Structure 1
């Protein structure tokens, strides 16, 4: 155990010491932001559903593709909803899902460059092939 003291020699914390290289140990009570962040999955699902069907579909795909980091990506996407309209985010996430894009920066780029309005290459190929 590692004991941590303040400048007046008062013990302020006790931490477990990692025994193997690369091990990550954190006490959630010492990091309220982390504790709050980890308690949100059901709220994230609800908020993504409020954005639209494609946002909800993206949420579930992302959860499967990136189980250890999906919450951070979803938090970023939900933050975008403070700047952009829901339909823009929903269309962008539809496009991201079609192309298998599951990172925040690429989704943000889809929104910024207006790519959500473009027909997907997959959709264009499909319509040309079967609608002749």
Structure 2
């Protein structure tokens, strides 16, 4: 943001880079580092549409990690945190499956029934023990 101002001032020979940095309150090394950095492309609208489609296609149970992997499989390279932001904006939250609960109470005081079959697996009639 401040780099174009400094470039214009130095091109007009109004001041040096060091003076421009002091005037705007930025360090010279920070200015040069910002020039070297490449601009990251903004998340496109089609990425959000694709994200929503993948989320619905997976039964609304995939979080940001799995969705990022699916997008990478479709050659859309985007970081996990860049997936989380559109998820918040689109109000996408994964629905977790409930944990399996064991309902058998094996610590009861009831008697244990005796074995009726006595390991005789050949029956005379169907549905008769």
Instruction: Point out the structure with the larger helix share.
Output: 1
Q: Bigger radius of gyration, 1 or 2?
A: 2
Please give the TM-score of this superposition, normalised by the length of structure 2: 0.27
Structure number with the bigger relative contact order (C-alpha 8 A, sep ≥ 6) is: 1
Please give the TM-score of this superposition, normalised by the length of structure 1: 0.26
